[in-house]
Amino acid sequence: MRFMTAFCKVFSDTAAIYPATNGYIIVFCIAGEMGINLKNRVFLIILLVIIFISITACFNTPDDNIEITSDESEEPIVLGPYEPYGTYQNGVITTKELFYSQDVKLIEDSGDGNVLYTDYPNGFKITLPAEARLEPDFSISQASVSFKSDEVKIRISKEYTGYNFVEFMEDYNCKYLESDDYLQNNNMRELRDIYCKKYNLTQHTYNNIKYDGYGRVGTYFSKFNFIKRTITLGSTETMGCYGHVNISIGNGTFFSILFNVTDFDKYNLLIQSVLDSFCVISVKGINIGNGVYSPTLPEWNTETAALYERLRKQEGIAWGLFSPYSEQDYFHVNEIEENVDYRFPVIMFYREMTADFPMEELKRAYEERGQIAELTLHLLSGGNGDDDNRNNTYGILDGKYDSNIKKWAKGLKDFDHPVLLRCSNEMNTTWCKYSGILLMNDPDLYVRLWRHVYDIFEQEGVKNAIWVFNPFDNDFPPVNWNNMIAYYPGDKYVQMIGLTAYSAGDYYQYEDFRTFLGCYEPLVEKNRKYFSEFPWVIGEFGCSSVGGDKEQWIKDMFTYLPNYPEIKVAVWYSYADYDTRYDRTKIPARPLWLEEREEYLQAFANGVKRGWAINSLLK
C-alpha cells in the first residue's frame, strides 16, 4: 500500500516532458515530503524513466530525410470491358437459332462509337453512345426495356390506348408533369424551354385549349416534358432530372421514353442521340421478360417463421375482416361474427407512417381475440387528398421521415408477434401519393421507397414482419410502364403477394358489376406468371350490391376459391365507398358491407361451414 501511494505521488508531482532531437529529456521535480525512504524513491524514478522511454520509442517521429511510402495505388481505376453486344432471345443472350415469333432483341457495335439497339417485339431502333456504358435490362420487357448506369436510366415502353393522343397526355399520362402547382410544391421546375428550338416545340390546340410542349421526333408528333427536382442535401438520391418524351405513331399507339439522369447538361447529347436515331420498324414476336421471382426469407423470430411455414403449407382460407375502427371497438365485428358463426382469425386496419404505432390495438387483437393483424401501412401523411399538391414520398426518399419510420420499426419490434405488413398497397393506380403517376411516371421511385423503409426496419432489428406486396388488379393508367411488375421491390424485400379485385358495381358509368370469376380468374392467372413461389393474401376485397347479385357473388366465392390454393388469407372490406362529387357525399356509391343484408351474411355463413375455412393462425 505504501509503495502504491509513493508511486502515485511521484507520478503526480512530475513536472514536464520536453521533446529533444532524438527522443525526450525527462525532468522530474519532486516536491514535498513523500514519507518514503530514498531507496524507494530512486527505484520509482528509474521505473518511470524506463516506462516513458518505452512509450516514446513507439511514437518516435522519423527523420525528415526518410521517405514515407504508401502501399495504396494511386493509379486510375481501369474499367472492365463493355460487352453488351449480342443477340438476346427472351431476355437471355444466345448464339442459337432465333425464333422471331418470341422475343428477339439485338445489340450491335455500329462501328462509329455508338451501340445500335434493335427491338423486334416493340418495333423500333435507337443508337446509344458506347462511352455511356449503359447496361441493358430486359427482366420486365413485357412492360418496358431499360438501359442503365450509375448516372443514367433510359426506359422505353410501347403503349396502346383508345384515347386521342393529346387528351391522354394532358388528362392522364402527363397530368402531374404538367401541373405547375404540383411541381412547385415538390421542389421541381420545368426545363422544357431549353429543347424548344431543337425539337421545334410549340403550343398545340385541342378542343379550343392550348397545350405546351408538343413538337416532332423525326416525323412523329410528340409530347415533351423535362423536369428537375431539387434533392435535399444529404439525400442518397442522385438522379433528380427527368425527361419524358412520348412519341405518337398513330392509331392510338405511342412510345414512352423516360430519361432519368443526374444532370441534363452532362447528358444532353446522349438524350439527343437517342431521339435523333429513333426509328420505327416492322414488329416481330412478343415481349417475354426474363425475371424469375422467389422469396429470400429473412431471419425471423421463431413464432413468425413458424406462422409463415404454416401459411405456405396451409390448405384452406383464413378469413379476415375490415370494419372501420374495428381494432378499437369490436362491436360491429362481434355482431358479424355472431351472425356468421365464425371468429375471423385475421383483422385488418390502416395507419399512416406519421401516426402513432398501434401497440394497444395489436395487443388486443393478438392477446384477447387470438387474431393476426394485417397492418396496412401507408407511407404518406394527410391521406391521399390534395394536401396542397405536396407529395411526402420524395421526403421519405430524401431521409426526412427516417425518425417516423424508426418509431414504427421500434414499435413492431417491441410487439414481437407476427404481423402481415401490407406496405403502400395499390401503387399501380392514380389515387395514391406513392403511385407511379405521381412519382414522375417512374415506378423505380416506389421500389426505392419500399427498400428504404424495409432496410430501416431490418437495421432496427424487426424480426416479426411478413411483408406483403399488394398491387391493384388493373393498372391505372392502363399503360405498360405502369405494369404492376415494374413496382416489385425484389425477392429480398417481399414474402407474400397481395391480390385486390373488387366487384365495384355500376353506380358510376365507367364501372361494371363483375362476377367473382370475372374478378379473380384473370388476376390469379397474371400473378401465377410471376409469383407462384409465394403464399398469397387477398389483402382486401368485396362486392357491391349495386348492379348485380351480391348474394350469388358470395356463393361463387366459396365455390371457386379452392381452385386457387396459393391464396391463404382473404380479407373482406366491410364498408362503402361514397360518392364524393358535389353534394352527394352521403350516397354509398359502392356499398360493400357484408352485414348490409341478412342473405349476404347467411351466404357467408353457409360458405364457411363447407370446410374450407381456417379457424386460427396461432396454432
35/160 same-domain check:
no
What whole-number distance in Å separates Cα of residue 162 and Cα of residue 180? 27
401/502 same-domain check:
yes
Any domain includes 495: yes
The alpha-carbon radius of gyration of the chain (Å, integer) is 33
pLDDT band at 49 (very low <50, low <70, confident <90, very high): very low
Assign residue 593 the CATH number of its domain.
3.20.20.80
220/328 same-domain check:
no
Any domain includes 287: no
382/238 same-domain check:
no
Alpha helices in 356-485 (DSSP H): 359-363, 393-397, 402-415, 443-459
What is the per-residue pLDDT for 75?
Answer: 55
239/339 same-domain check:
no
How many structural domains compose the chain? 3
Any domain includes 28: yes
pLDDT band at 386 (very low <50, low <70, confident <90, very high): low
Q: Is 0.75 topped by the overall pTM?
A: yes
Q: Which residues contact 129 (CB under 8 A, 6 or more apart)?
A: 113, 114, 115, 269, 270, 273
Residue type, 479: V
pLDDT band at 293 (very low <50, low <70, confident <90, very high): very high
From residue 4, how far is each of 12, 44, 596, 606 by CA, in Å? Answer: 12, 10, 88, 88
What is the per-residue pLDDT for 40?
Answer: 52
Looking at residues 250-266, what average pLDDT do you find? 96
Looking at residues 550-556, what average pLDDT do you find? 98
Considering only residues 87 and 6, tell me which one the structure prediction assigns the higher pLDDT: 87
What is the per-residue pLDDT for 468?
Answer: 98
Residue range(s) defining the domain that contains residue 221: 86-280
What whole-number distance in Å separates Cα of residue 422 and Cα of residue 169? 32
Any domain includes 578: yes
- From the list 539, 467, 502, the residue with the least C-alpha distance to 321 is 539
Looking at residues 6-25, what average pLDDT do you find? 37
Contact 465, 377 (CB under 8 A): no
Any domain includes 246: yes
407/461 same-domain check:
yes
Any domain includes 75: no
pLDDT band at 19 (very low <50, low <70, confident <90, very high): very low
113/238 same-domain check:
yes
| Residue 55 predicted with pLDDT over 50 | no
| Residue 7 predicted with pLDDT over 50 | no
546/411 same-domain check:
yes
pLDDT digits (tens, 9 = 90+) for 57-108: 444 433 333 333 334 444 555 556 788 999 999 999 999 999 999 999 999 9
What is the per-residue pLDDT for 424?
Answer: 97
Assign residue 205 the CATH number of its domain.
3.40.1000.10
pLDDT digits (tens, 9 = 90+) for 592-616: 999 999 999 999 999 999 988 999 9
pLDDT band at 441 (very low <50, low <70, confident <90, very high): very high
Q: Kindly write down the DSSP assignment for every residue of 195-237, as one continuous string.
A: GTTTTT-EEEEETTEEEEEEEEETTEEEEEEEEEE-PPTT-S-
Looking at residues 299-305, what average pLDDT do you find? 98
- DSSP letter at 586 equals T
| Residue 4 predicted with pLDDT over 80 | no
What is the per-residue pLDDT for 77?
Answer: 54
What is the per-residue pLDDT for 382?
Answer: 72
Between helix 2-12 and helix 38-58 the angle, nearest 10°, is 60
264/128 same-domain check:
yes
Any domain includes 610: yes
| Residue 375 predicted with pLDDT over 60 | yes
Looking at residues 38-46, what average pLDDT do you find? 49
What whole-number distance in Å separates Cα of residue 82 and Cα of residue 77? 15
What is the per-residue pLDDT for 199?
Answer: 80
pLDDT band at 175 (very low <50, low <70, confident <90, very high): very high
Any domain includes 604: yes
10/90 same-domain check:
no
pLDDT digits (tens, 9 = 90+) for 329-368: 888 999 999 999 999 999 999 999 999 999 999 999 999 9
Residue after which a domain boundary falls, among 214, 248, 280: 280
The whole-chain average pLDDT of the chain stands at 88
| Residue 540 predicted with pLDDT over 70 | yes
Share of the chain above pLDDT 90, in %: 77
